[in-house]
Structure 1
């Protein structure tokens, strides 16, 4: 009588494979989540750079004059959407739960109100208007 070899995996082999996949997932998922946070921070830095470039180009085109700020939410010159310096004010999405997501610009005082902070025609500087810290423990307003 011939003995027929069984095909397939045993229960122990399957349990070992599932355990290995679980260990790999436990290591990979937190790293992946951290990468998503870092990519959102990079996007915020890129948007900040775009706004600063628009102000700088305006400054160069207007012989040393920064854009004037007419009101807290309406900026003339480089930060007004739709002109030759900037198509639109980008929305800032700070990648931490419960923090600010806004494309508004304030000129009153740097704080934790959300959006962008523009120092006005005196200095022409743009910051992120948030006092929380990023993944490197730097305050958002000091980028």
Structure 2
């Protein structure tokens, strides 16, 4: 999946009027995923995404904070995105849904395994077959 297609899908699923909001949501979510998973898994995920998005999963080696729950995840993304947590939750769900479609199923399963049960609502969306533009 190409960068423009990824962002268009996020924008559509999040029902956002602004492409810039979809880009900001995507970047903030990927940066927070990077904080949550191992460096090796982050690199594996980055390898399957367009370079413009992969950059948000790469960089300085950080030790993942395996203890933060969904609420803390939403707060972290909300701060990066500078949006209200309710809006952020919609954005995060959209990014996860597009990720599920953009990467190999086995890679998505590995990503999913890094998140505790309280994240299930973020993974509840089935893969997208066609998202209206």
Structure-1-length-normalised TM-score? 0.24
**Structure that is richer in helix per residue:** 2
Structure with more contact order per residue of length (Cα contacts < 8 Å, sep ≥ 6): 2
Larger Rg: 1
Report the structure, 1 or 2, having the larger strand content: 1
TM-score (norm 2): 0.26
